[in-house]
Amino acid sequence: MRVLCSWCYNTIESSELNDDQEVMCPDCKKWHQGATEDCIKEFLENLPIPVVSIAADNTIITTNSKASEIFRLEPEKNFEKKAGELFDCKNSRSAGGCGKTVNCMKCTIRNLVLTTYLDGTPREKVSVPVETNENKKASLTVSAVRVKGNVWLRFDEWMIPE
Ligand SMILES: [Zn+2]
């Protein structure tokens, strides 16, 4: 059986798969479990898909250039930004800001980050509906894994209004 790693897209032998929810090759698994901050940036950069590392309070820690491209980010200005600002969530500019409004309690991304951070169980391909500041709909399919003290969000699919 031929399976592709959901992170690096390399082929995985079926014998290397275990019962985890996620499909991850042994190389990526090693990174996810033991990488140091320095190497994490390089590892993320080499992945063929957009990945954003986020702290439990929704602050963006780092992004790879694929993610910067689809979310139109300037990498050096990402810090201090919150997850909702990636896709201009309409709550991210409200009083209190991203993660602090009443609506944020039911935000799929916020809860995905929080639950993955708390229980360490990877989540695969969660569908995330978002409404932007201009009342446009964005839709994302996101996977999450806890790496050290942060959560990596992998964007498997994205539809972001112009
Ligand atoms: Zn891999």
pLDDT of res. 62? 87
CA distance 84 to 138: 11
Q: Residue 77: pLDDT band by 50, 70, 90 thresholds?
A: low
Could you report the per-residue pLDDT of 126-141, keeping only the tens digit for each? 999 888 888 888 889 9
Report how far apart, in Å, the C-alpha atoms of 100 and of each of 104, 109, 113, 116, 118 are: 6, 13, 14, 19, 19
CA 99 – ligand 1 centroid, Å: 31
CATH number of the domain that residue 129 is part of? 3.30.450.20
* 89 within 8 A of 114, measured Cβ to Cβ: no
**Amino acid identity, residue 63?**
T
Range of the domain at 130: 2-159
CA 84 – ligand 1 centroid, Å: 27
Residue whose entry in the numeric block shows the structure tokens 């991850």? 24
CA 97 – ligand 1 centroid, Å: 35
CA 154 – ligand 1 centroid, Å: 13
